[in-house]
Structure 1
């Protein structure tokens, strides 16, 4: 067995793991990054964010061609070459994984490919993964060398970034036509009809993708609207827009079981509105998108005394420290938003904390959330209902901006909404701040970045409303919304 020592050992090379590695290497720490997959990047880069957005890029082009009829341009979509589309998706992922591997090598991070297991607070044992004969090591991008059939990595600090996996339906493991999001991305063609169980980001993005590609999509949701935990106006708007596009949304359902066909398809059995009467929905594929489970079920988590909460998430302080002094955790195995950009920032905070710096910890309510549906939805900060429940906030209010007052929104032919939540903290009751922004629009994912700056930096509403936005742009909608919230509406009543 080979043994090596590093300042920091990181288990998992997804967004949280590799961001920790990159920042720690910048701070002159020796870093071992251990990944069981053949490539770095984790679920996001290989099986999630990036490949799904590559497919959604193509779907946007289909949508644009259809919307062009409004402007007198007639485009006939004859077919979708799925082989070329798959090649586009694959090449996008390969380009980005190669780029990430090159960046890690450039920073001096040593990447090991193998199955990691924590042996104690300062030791990680690595075994071959995926049928390989030996653990491999890469110090140059694209160049791997065998190490040994067993490797022990000793480190002053160990960071756990093992990610998450799709949650199966109770009593119905993924099998046949009942698929998870990874399998949905690996399909060789778009389904002619599909049933999706869920009302969150993954469910809505696949509903938009398949609907744009011409599939008949049925969406079974538990509440009366999608994204039910979001600000009500945004969730109602997105529900309406998906229906307008032809997505069949069935509200207030409870799935009882799924019958998987012998050769093709599956039938979902469900009840609705609390009734005992059972109904069915058939799909060539059935996508269960009801959430994700943290990858903390390995015995070595508990055998090393790492405390997990009742849902299996690693308990940490605001800087990522676990109850074991030398062990840190981040990303999807910690409670909070399971988002790549949250994990990026957590990784930076952990690396800087290990290096003895004093970073600002991640504040969950300032982490922007985005759904890349058609249209997109994004939010950051508090809803009005949340603000009303806070003892440290006085005089909260919400302002609805009519998005069709924006010229670019009108040209787009899309529906949308924007709600701005403002109020003051009890520590400074005279200063009204931007507390939350909730948007549905074609480019909500881009607009929310400015909103996050306002919320995260506690910008006074009066100052935010004086920012000048270029005309005519989608971003102008945020400026107009802020003016209205500040009691100085310009192009709205």
Structure 2
């Protein structure tokens, strides 16, 4: 086909953050003719079923301690019960608004949108569930991922993260299965909202893959706040109270102590949305977990087909998907081959307290060569004044030879906000001496990052 024989220069499958950004930039900045198909709600996991509603729930849960803390600062506030129904209504209104923003952005950029499921028929043809077909010179898959349930009997009676935003009422008790960031974030959220939370994780410590010292502190603080965390524990059986599947669940764990829970949440993993899209017949290669295999330019084994975001299972973060989409557009429509940069990506886990991290963990850095570790743990001023037991952690990992800061790990209130700024310095290759040369902002928690003069340990 000649170029003018295609319906579109680019057809995007998926209306999440990565796909929408790629479509908008290709159409708005490069005058490409772009179509986009989304079978569900525009905004994708982040806006509709992930980052945004979750963060709003984090905010809501954070008010649980305000009344008691305020008394220590001279305020006499009155506590009241959390109103899930009222909060949920405001939450849904906000999500509707954001979805409208996404639709408007696409429309204003000149992107044609189709509320339909898409399958790829051939390297240049997309078949939509409305019965139509669209041709395109390039196809970009940005279909995201989804939470999965374990393969045990009655697993369909348990919740996954998507379901939490649609609960008619909060349970009195919940069992959360898993130890990743989604499991831990929702454990903290629900605990803060007054739910009795129990968490089982089969591993020796939660948040596998993150810095050991940092994740240990998060676990300690979660337990301090009342979360019943059981490590080295998994679920064996789950049985509903009634034959129709209703009522509390009786759960038998590997530690042998059966218990009843109003709800069970499975936060045991996610899977790329690559099923039933015609990919394998097309020649697109999939990995063991269903992820689409791509090169450094997000190109699949089929030259006209690209993929970005969670469906590729590289770094499953919204800002990364957006940057992958931008690199794709620059490569394909900007004439400037741009590999995706996945190095030194800062991230945050919205537990209570939060964890912010960028670069290497102490354990990973130790394997790469000689390092110095600068770490301090203390009670922050606000919490200490109110008599709270919460502690924070500020930690730098430094290469002993080059003095470059290889990693930073923060466990503290608003650690996500802090790590964004530190991420700039680490990405620039700042040295420990450059950190030291920066004047402290006093009194703050983060001033510790520029006042630690002597290493805590070396390796």
TM-score for both structures, normalised by structure 2: 0.91
For 2:294 and 2:393, the matched residues in 1 are separated by 36
Pair 1:401-2:376 in alignment: yes
Helix, strand or coil at the partner of 1:253: coil
Retained in 2: the 8 A contact 1:433–1:461? yes
Q: State the shift of 1:100 in Å.
A: 1.9
Pairing 1:438-477 to 2, within 5 Å after superposition: 438-477=409-448
Pair 1:384-2:352 in alignment: no
Give every structure 1 segment of 4 or more consecutive aligned residues whose post-TM-superposition deviation is greater than 6 Å.
none
Which residue of the partner structure matches residue 252 of structure 2?
269
Retained in 1: the 8 A contact 2:141–2:307? yes
Of 54, 73, 86, the match for 1:71: 73
Over aligned residues, Cα RMSD in angstroms? 2.2
Q: State the shift of 1:465 in Å.
A: 3.1
Q: State the shift of 1:108 in Å.
A: 1.9
Give unpaired runs (5+ residues) of structure 1.
Answer: 129-149, 273-277, 488-493
Of 214, 226, 238, the match for 1:258: 238
Specify whether residues 312 and 360 from structure 1 end up closer, same or farther in structure 2 by C-alpha distance, changes over 3 A only.
closer
For 2:144 and 2:338, the matched residues in 1 are separated by 23
Which residue of the partner structure matches residue 261 of structure 2?
283
Which residue of the partner structure matches residue 227 of structure 1?
207
Retained in 1: the 8 A contact 2:375–2:456? no
For 1:465 and 1:360, the matched residues in 2 are separated by 34
Specify whether residues 470 and 182 from structure 1 end up closer, same or farther in structure 2 by C-alpha distance, changes over 3 A only.
same
Specify whether residues 478 and 411 from structure 1 end up closer, same or farther in structure 2 by C-alpha distance, changes over 3 A only.
farther
Which residue of the partner structure matches residue 135 of structure 1?
none
Pairing 1:110-121 to 2, within 5 Å after superposition: 110-121=112-123
Q: State the shift of 1:409 in Å.
A: 6.3
Of 341, 362, 366, the match for 2:341: 362
Specify whether residues 260 and 342 from structure 1 end up closer, same or farther in structure 2 by C-alpha distance, changes over 3 A only.
farther
Which residue of the partner structure matches residue 136 of structure 1?
none
Retained in 2: the 8 A contact 1:375–1:442? yes
Pair 1:326-2:307 in alignment: no
For 1:485 and 1:361, the matched residues in 2 are separated by 35
Q: State the shift of 1:360 in Å.
A: 5.0
Pair 1:214-2:185 in alignment: no
Retained in 2: the 8 A contact 1:403–1:409? no
Which residue of the partner structure matches residue 132 of structure 1?
none
For 2:46 and 2:277, the matched residues in 1 are separated by 25
Which residue of the partner structure matches residue 423 of structure 1?
399
Number of paired residues? 446
For 2:113 and 2:82, the matched residues in 1 are separated by 39
Specify whether residues 469 and 301 from structure 1 end up closer, same or farther in structure 2 by C-alpha distance, changes over 3 A only.
farther
Pair 1:151-2:132 in alignment: yes
Retained in 1: the 8 A contact 2:199–2:230? yes
Retained in 1: the 8 A contact 2:36–2:114? yes
For 2:384 and 2:440, the matched residues in 1 are separated by 17
For 1:17 and 1:465, the matched residues in 2 are separated by 41
Which residue of the partner structure matches residue 167 of structure 1?
148
For 1:67 and 1:226, the matched residues in 2 are separated by 28
For 2:433 and 2:382, the matched residues in 1 are separated by 25
Q: State the shift of 1:22 in Å.
A: 2.4
Specify whether residues 168 and 57 from structure 1 end up closer, same or farther in structure 2 by C-alpha distance, changes over 3 A only.
same
TM-score for both structures, normalised by structure 1: 0.85
Q: State the shift of 1:19 in Å.
A: 1.9
Helix, strand or coil at the partner of 1:279: coil
For 1:469 and 1:154, the matched residues in 2 are separated by 58
Of 184, 190, 193, the match for 1:204: 184
Retained in 2: the 8 A contact 1:462–1:486? no
Which residue of the partner structure matches residue 147 of structure 1?
none
Give unpaired runs (5+ residues) of structure 2.
Answer: none
Pair 1:36-2:39 in alignment: yes
Which residue of the partner structure matches residue 20 of structure 1?
22
Which residue of the partner structure matches residue 160 of structure 2?
180
Deviations 1:422-456 (A, max 9, x none): 116xxxx5x32111111111101111112221222
Which residue of the partner structure matches residue 139 of structure 1?
none
Helix, strand or coil at the partner of 1:472: coil
Which residue of the partner structure matches residue 90 of structure 1?
92
For 2:63 and 2:253, the matched residues in 1 are separated by 35
Which residue of the partner structure matches residue 141 of structure 1?
none
Q: State the shift of 1:188 in Å.
A: 1.7
Which residue of the partner structure matches residue 479 of structure 1?
450
Deviates more, 1:166-175 or 1:288-297: 166-175
Q: State the shift of 1:329 in Å.
A: 0.8
For 2:278 and 2:233, the matched residues in 1 are separated by 38
